[in-house]
Amino acid sequence: MAEHVAVLSNPFAGKGRGARETEAALAHLRARGVDLRVYTGESAASSRILVARALLESPRMLVIVGGDGTLSGILDPVCAAGIPVVLVPAGTGNDLARALGLPRRDPVAAAELALTGVPRAIDVGEVRAAGRIDPFLTIAALGFDAKVSDRTNRLRWPHGVLRYYLALVVELVRLRPMEFTVSVDGEPPVRTPGTLVAVGNTESYGGGMPLCAGAAADDGLLDIVQVAPLTRLRLLRLFPLLLRGVHLSRPEVTRRQARSVTVSAPGLVVYADGERIAENECTIGIRRSALTILVPAAPGRQS
Question: In angstroms, rounded to a whole number, what is the distance separating the alpha carbons of residues 126 and 134?
Answer: 5
Contacts of 106 (CB under 8 A, 6+ apart): none
Question: 302: burial class by Cβ within 10 Å (0-12, 13-18, 19+)?
Answer: exposed
Instruction: With CA atoms as reference, report the closest residue to 208 among 107, 139, 158.
Output: 139
112 has catalytic annotation: no
Kindly list the distances between the CA atom of residue 252 and the CA atoms of 25, 175, 202, 235, in Å, as whole numbers in the listed order: 45, 16, 21, 10
Instruction: With CA atoms as reference, report the closest residue to 286 among 203, 205, 222.
Output: 222
Instruction: With CA atoms as reference, report the closest residue to 179 among 106, 264, 98.
Output: 264
Of the residues 23, 179, 275, 279, only one is catalytic, namely 275
Active site residues: 275
